[in-house]
Amino acid sequence: MKLKDTLAVNSFDYAYLTKRIYKYIKPYLFRIILGFLIALPVGALDGVIAYALKPYMDEVLIKKNMLLAYIIPFGIVAFAALQGLLRYLNDYLTNWTGQKVTNDVKLGLFKKLVQMDAKFYDENSSGIILTRYLTDPDTASKGILDNLKALMSSGIGAFALIGVMLYNSWELAVVGVVVLCIAFLPAAIIRKRIKKASNETMKIGGNIMTDFNETTQGNKIVASYNLADYQFSKFSKEIRDSFDVNMSLVKRVAWMSPIMYTIASVGIAIVMAFGTYLVLSGRMTSGSLLSFVTSLLLLYKPVKTLGNTLTTLQTIFVSLCRTLELFDIEPEIKDSENAVELNEIKQGVSLENVCFEYVKDTPVLKNINLSANVGETVAIVGNSGGGKTTIANLIPRFYDVTSGAVKIDGVDIRDIKIDSLRHHISVVFQDNFLFSGTIRENLLMGNFDASDAELEKVVQAAHLDEFLCEMSDGLDTEIGERGTTLSGGQRQRVAIARAMLKDSPIIILDEATSALDNKSEAVVQKALDNLMQNKTVFVIAHRLSTIKNADKIAVINEGELVELGTHDELLAKENGFYKRLYEMQFAKKDTVLAE
Ligand SMILES: Nc1ncnc2c1ncn2[C@@H]1O[C@H](COP(=O)(O)OP(=O)(O)O)[C@@H](O)[C@H]1O
Ligand SMILES: [Mg+2]
């Protein structure tokens, strides 16, 4: 599922949107309705003022009724004060409910996001994920209540004013309403344009976020390759694109308001001419005309708001629709219906006729058969790009096999509960992700229930104590985003200690020492040796000693398992792959066997 390719098909299917969003609104329904109810009198104030003008003109100014002369102004002030109070309550309620709904939607989305599989993250950039999981829902749920509220109160305002107009002269009112309806026609035309522009904006917004993420995360590369200008020009292009999309929307939409105004002014002109005639011919009092024209003029504001709100709501509906779509994205890798818990592993892990492709019709692994019995160490070697990491990815189900099966004790791992499967596997990569926070927090991710004694044990076994003792805060040292304040070897040791705390029976090591210099490699290797003890291990390694000690060596070439055996067996093969790799390594006088 590529997030940027959304079409937001159901944006204007209001029944669909209502049905979907209702779940999130339901817990706050009472408050939302209360907010709307409070909005009703707020909208009606203008109508009351316009209405009051008729008795004011006819009774006070013409007939000199002085009692009303006092009552009407006071009445208006009292009503406005009441309206102010209600407006405050309404604002409070709408914001409260709006935030709550937004939070619930965001929480729901985050819950979905953390379940997504590796393929989802392959397909979608961090920027597009941020935009769609954070920005869109914000726009959608915050905006929707605000605008619905505005729609309600302007609608009520317009209704009240039209009521006053009808009360004063139905003939004039009919003219006014007909003109109003004509003025609203353009609103229907612009919906599609808004949707297209909104999808474009979302896409560009995602690219902009990605630019930011890459600039921060790749800051050293940006600096060392002098990419500041390059990044800047990439960013300026995104900004220009975003400008163009917005302006093209403005060009296509902004004519709506002026057109509405022009049509409305024609209405006012007609009403004034017709009204003057009615007053002069004695069919209407001048108070009625004053009240009517005031209503008509006051009608401008709610009608303008209605126009703007309708436009904004279209944008919001597109965002809302996009947000709701996210709830429909299911990870491809999830528990099967009859998934079982994995208990103690008795036999081992096996890959049976495993074929795999990341991209359709581009086979990466071809019919691999490989097994590791409990307690065995299987080394996987081969040229770069051959598929070693891919094999490692399949065992914890980061990806699912295209055909064949990975089995544990004969059970297809697709029939094992994912949590349970992953609980039994620890993976240590070449570059391990540490989280911002302290070393202790990072270690405890391996096992949140670990005792201080257990922590101390892994600190020793992973050789963390060597550098912890130099840190004033010890285990409570903050290590920065992704652990940036640690050296590569230190990060690796923290990752190994984290895996040790997890203490899972299956260990997968993917070139865990290959990014390190000789000195840190030696100490990390000691830590790894401790981690591997008494475990079932798949190790993709470049160090001869690790490989030599393995129970089995699997040589992977271009996605195929070309040789399998012990070090001695494989060396005995004339012209064998392993023999060549081994000799190459000696010729180069370094320890790189697999890249
Ligand atoms: N996420 C991915 N999406 C598409 N292709 C991938 C992905 N990861 C790896 N590949 C491709 O799969 C092949 C095997 O990669 P990998 O298993 O990482 O090799 P190795 O670990 O042996 O160096 C390579 O051709 C690589 O380009
Ligand atoms: Mg690899």
Hey, whose CA ends up nearest to atom 18 of ligand 1? 389
Q: Whose CA is nearest to atom 6 of ligand 1?
A: 358
Per the structure, how many domains does the chain have? 3
* Cβ of residue 393 lying under 6 Å from some atom of ligand 1: no
Examine the domain organization and report whether 413 and 438 are in the same domain. Answer: no
- Which residue lies with its CA nearest to atom 24 of ligand 1? 385
Q: Is 101 contained in some domain?
A: yes
Among 366, 389, 508, say which to mutate for ligand 1: greatest number of ligand atoms within 8 Å of CB: 389
Ligand number with the minimum distance to the CA of 387: 1
CB 402 within 8 A of CB 361: no
Same domain, 355 and 466: no
> 289 by DSSP, 3-state: which?
helix
Q: Is the CB of 542 under 6 A from ligand 1?
A: no
CB 437 within 8 A of CB 494: no
Look at residues 270, 297, 328 and tell me which one is the last residue of a structural domain. 328
Residue 370, domain member (yes or no): yes
Closest ligand to Cα 512? 2
In terms of C-beta density within 10 A (0-12 exposed, 13-18 middle, 19 or more buried), how is residue 515 classed?
middle
Residues 99 and 242 in one domain: yes
On whether residue 488 sits in a domain, the answer given is yes
- Ligand 1: which atom is nearest the Cα of residue 383? 22
Per-residue pLDDT 10s for the chain (595 aa) are 788 887 778 878 888 888 988 898 899 999 988 887 887 777 777 777 778 888 888 888 888 888 878 887 888 788 878 888 888 888 888 889 888 988 999 999 999 999 999 999 999 999 999 999 998 888 887 787 778 778 887 888 888 888 888 888 888 888 888 887 787 777 667 777 788 888 888 888 888 888 898 888 888 888 888 888 999 999 999 999 999 988 988 888 788 778 877 887 888 888 888 888 988 998 888 888 888 888 888 887 787 788 778 778 888 888 888 899 999 999 999 999 999 999 999 999 999 999 999 999 999 999 999 999 999 999 999 988 999 999 999 999 999 999 999 999 999 999 999 999 999 999 988 888 889 889 999 999 999 998 999 999 889 888 888 888 888 888 888 888 888 888 888 898 899 899 989 999 999 999 887 777 777 778 788 888 888 888 999 999 877 777 888 899 999 999 999 999 999 899 888 888 988 888 876 455 445 444 4
User: Is residue 386 lining ligand 1, measured as CB closer than 6 Å?
Assistant: yes
Q: Kindly state if the Cβ of 429 falls inside 6 Å of ligand 1.
A: no
What residues form DSSP beta bridges with 381?
555
The response to whether residue 469 sits with its C-beta less than 6 Å from ligand 1 reads no
- In a domain, residue 525? The reply is no
Claim to verify: residue 102 and residue 215 sit in the same structural domain: yes
d(CA 335, CA 339): 6
- CA gyration radius, the chain: 35
Q: Ligand 2 centroid vs 389 CA: distance in angstroms?
A: 4
> Is residue 333, in this structure, part of any structural domain at all?
no
Render 132-153 in DSSP notation, one character per residue: IIIIHHIIIIIHHHHHHHHHHH
- Does residue 527 belong to any structural domain of this protein? no
Tell me which H or E stretch contains 420: helix 418-423
Using alpha carbons, list the distances in angstroms from residue 482 to 389, 488, 491. 22, 11, 9
- Residue 174 β-bridge partners: none
**Is 489 in the same domain as 418?**
no
Dig out the tokens for 34 from the structure.
Answer: 């209360």
Structural domain for 167, as ranges: 13-328
Same domain, 229 and 160: yes
Q: Do 385 and 323 reside in the same domain of the chain?
A: no
- CATH number of the CATH domain containing 477: 3.40.50.300
Q: Are residues 205 and 308 in the same domain?
A: yes
